[in-house]
Amino acid sequence: MSVRVRTFLCLSAVIVCVSLVSLTAIAQTPSRIHFSRGATRVTARGYLRGVNDHALFVLRAKSGQHMRVEISGRGATRGVVIFPSGKQDGGPGGVVFDDDIDETGNYRIRVTESSMANAWRGSFVVTIDITTGQSESGADLARYAGKYPSELFRNEPELKTRLRDLLGANYGSFMSRLQTEMPIERDGNVLIGRGCMAHQCTIEESILAIDLSGGTPYVAIKSTRYGGGFKIFAEDKNRVPEALRRAMQK
């Protein structure tokens, strides 16, 4: 065998090996999942080509939050949630994980076909809910009844972070309408904090409602920029507490 032929064969083998490594790396690279601003639910789609195939997703979550992962597909599935530390939890398709999490970092979700059912090929959907966990629930926030919103924000920085995510560009408008504060009240299982711009009460106001069952915030801003009425900001506008609507009518 000539030197030229041997060189060609060696180069071909190297190219094949590099290609296989590259394809493997691509196959194992997880798809990053991002939550829209203020959202607590996101869906991701994938495709499985057989019982030996798998799909990987990755998302960032914080200790104390509650994660729920549900998988549905054209056939039987199995899902595994891999914590930042490497520990795992999961099970057959449907709801594969539903619990508070105790680590902050990147969580991977691995989806495969179930080896206990008939093989299939097709698409699947992963639905992920990330909400405030019981460890961060409003039970601790209830102690702020009778105190002022500024104290609540000072001692609960994560609440301010959540409000920034919820309100986006309207965060400054919300805070500027709390210059004149009123003591926080409790209406059933909801805390109500409110305030207004100096010398503009009843015209430029902010109301914050916190559901004590999970610490979920809801906001109503009253301003001439909204035609003189209130505009509601909520992660889920179908669950706005009646306590907030009552506060808006006062």
How many angstroms from the chain centroid is the CA of residue 118?
33
Distance of alpha carbon 3 from alpha carbon 103, whole angstroms: 57
Q: What is the pLDDT of residues 219-249, one digit of tens each?
A: 999 999 888 999 999 988 888 999 999 999 9
Strands 105-113 and 122-132: unpaired
End-to-end CA distance of the chain: 94
Q: What is the pLDDT of residues 19-73, one digit of tens each?
A: 443 333 344 588 999 888 767 889 999 999 988 899 999 999 988 888 999 999 9
Q: How confident is the model over 7-26, as a mean pLDDT?
A: 43
